[in-house]
């Protein structure tokens, strides 16, 4: 079949500037092309990337755009202008999938075929505007429930199909879990909603009882990259200075090979998000599972599709801002190598369910379902 995948205006493909959504869609499109589908990706023109680039069954078309502005009004304006241009550039397709806000509203059905909207963020009571589309793909049951509750008029359009890990992370999956450093790692934006201060407080408690462990905090703090800025980073560093153990802030790591290497060195990955309405299906914990880390997350609903507390990872009470709830789990993992090995192996098995080949197949099944509905009506 003919599949168009239209990326938003601010980050390029390949994901030279980072971007989880960009990595996910590139992995899916590459897999669909490998399966024999004709795939076109439209994304931002960036630096020396060519305007048009083709490999077997996969064509990249690129449009000039800008970095994401701070102004919400400009952000929406850029998205609308980019969507209009992308709709004109797109070739006729059977399925057009996008995460853009504006594109599903402006692209002609004669070009798009079935319009497939990927909902990778918690909705803001606006999904009713998509009554002309054919599918609202929620990346988790948490998001599907929110769409149905907020916008009953489009509830019948929803279906949950999760994010996949990238091809590089899928390739990193192995049953052999080699010796690791006594490291706990966090990867994500350095923002208040990510609960990084809870992690630091928990590490302060746990490292008093279990010296020799390190905490590695990976991610951008700059506001233009989604962080909460230099002042917040300074707050975290001041809190970290109280630790008897070592806490390192590395900044962001966008190269997947380097990020995978970091994960493979660490024993434990912690994602302490407190953003109950800011998370959809966080991919970093699944990536950490793929690399053999023991995963610990907060008890938010967004993790329930893949993490089973005490089986393939652990969940702590994010409402305990003192860090005591998380520290209890960290102490248990610091004390027990056998527990780490057992939980990590189950996490590896979970990560396999999110490989691009597995998730791409689920999408294609739904694409065929939508196209069959169209054929039966005609």
* Size of the chain, expressed as the number of residues it contains: 378
Whether residues 158 and 195 fall in one domain: no
Whole-number CA gyration radius for the chain:
21
| Domain that includes residue 58, residue range | 2-164+355-377
Tokens 């929620």, residue located: 138
pTM: 0.89
Whether residues 194 and 325 fall in one domain: yes
Whether residues 46 and 60 fall in one domain: yes
Quote the number of domains for the chain.
Answer: 2
Whether residues 228 and 340 fall in one domain: yes
Whether residues 90 and 181 fall in one domain: no
Whether residues 24 and 151 fall in one domain: yes
Q: Looking at the DSSP assignment, which residues form a beta bridge with residue 97?
A: 5, 116
Whether residues 325 and 361 fall in one domain: no
Instruction: Tell me the HSE value of 121 on the side-chain side, using a 13 A CA sphere.
Output: 11
CA atoms of 220 and 162, how far apart (whole Å): 25
Output the six-digit token pair for 183: 């490291």
> Is the bond preceding residue 164 a cis peptide, omega within 30 degrees?
no
Burial bucket for residue 337 (CB in 10 Å: 0-12, 13-18, 19+): exposed
Whether residues 260 and 134 fall in one domain: no
Whether residues 173 and 309 fall in one domain: yes
CA atoms of 184 and 269, how far apart (whole Å): 6
Give the pLDDT of the chain (378 residues) as one tens digit per residue. Answer: 999 999 999 999 998 887 888 989 999 999 999 999 999 999 999 999 999 999 999 999 999 999 888 898 999 999 999 999 999 999 999 999 999 999 999 999 999 999 999 999 999 999 999 999 999 999 999 999 999 999 999 999 999 999 999 989 999 999 888 789 999 999 999 999 999 999 999 999 999 999 999 999 999 999 878 899 999 999 999 999 988 779 999 999 988 899 999 999 999 999 999 998 888 899 999 999 999 999 999 999 999 999 999 999 999 999 999 999 999 999 999 999 999 999 999 999 999 999 999 999 999 999 999 999 865 554
Whether residues 265 and 327 fall in one domain: yes
CA atoms of 156 and 21, how far apart (whole Å): 25
CA atoms of 53 and 371, how far apart (whole Å): 28
CA atoms of 188 and 217, how far apart (whole Å): 8
CA atoms of 81 and 5, how far apart (whole Å): 17
Tokens 């966080």, residue located: 282
CATH number of the domain that residue 147 is part of: 3.40.50.2000
Q: For residue 241, what are the contacts with CB-CB under 8 A and spacing of at least 6?
A: none
Whether residues 67 and 205 fall in one domain: no
Whether residues 172 and 197 fall in one domain: yes
Cα dist. 292→125, 311, 342 in Å? 38, 14, 11
CA atoms of 57 and 32, how far apart (whole Å): 9
């Amino acid at each position: 079949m003919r599949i168009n995948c239209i990326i938003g205006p601010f980050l390029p493909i390949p994901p030279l500037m980072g971007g989880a959504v960009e990595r996910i869609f590139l992995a899916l499109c590459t897999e669909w092309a490998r399966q024999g589908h004709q795939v076109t990706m439209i994304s931002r023109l960036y630096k020396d990337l060519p305007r048009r680039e083709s490999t077997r069954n996969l064509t990249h078309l690129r449009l000039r755009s800008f970095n994401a502005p701070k102004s919400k009004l400009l952000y929406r304006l850029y998205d609308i202008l980019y969507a209009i241009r992308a709709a004109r550039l797109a070739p006729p397709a059977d399925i057009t999938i996008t995460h853009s806000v504006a594109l599903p509203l402006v692209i002609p059905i004669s070009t798009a075929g079935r319009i497939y909207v990927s909902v990778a963020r918690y909705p803001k009571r606006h999904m009713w505007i998509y009554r002309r589309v054919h599918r609202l793909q929620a990346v988790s049951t948490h998001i599907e429930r929110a769409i149905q509750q907020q916008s009953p008029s489009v509830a019948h359009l929803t279906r949950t199909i999760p994010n996949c890990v990238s091809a590089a992370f899928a390739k990193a999956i192995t049953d052999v879990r080699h010796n690791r450093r006594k490291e706990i790692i966090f990867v994500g934006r350095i923002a208040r909603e990510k609960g990084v201060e809870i992690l630091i407080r928990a590490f302060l408690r746990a490292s008093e009882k279990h010296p020799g462990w390190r905490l590695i905090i990976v991610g951008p703090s700059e506001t233009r990259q989604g962080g909460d800025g230099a002042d917040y980073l300074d707050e975290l560093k001041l809190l970290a200075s109280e630790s008897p153990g070592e806490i390192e802030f590395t900044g962001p790591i966008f190269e997947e090979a380097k990020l995978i290497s970091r994960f493979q060195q660490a024993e434990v990955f912690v994602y302490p998000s407190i953003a109950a309405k800011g998370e959809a299906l966080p991919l970093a914990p699944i990536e950490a599972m793929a690399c053999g880390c023991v995963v610990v997350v907060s008890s938010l609903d967004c993790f329930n599709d893949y993490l089973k507390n005490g089986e393939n990872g652990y969940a702590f009470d994010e409402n305990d801002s003192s860090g005591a709830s998380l520290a209890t789990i960290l102490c248990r993992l610091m004390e027990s190598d056998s527990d780490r090995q057992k939980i990590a192996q189950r996490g590896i098995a979970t990560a396999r369910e999110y490989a691009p080949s597995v998730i791409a197949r689920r999408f294609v099944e739904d694409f065929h379902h939508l196209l069959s509905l169209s054929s039966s009506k005609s």
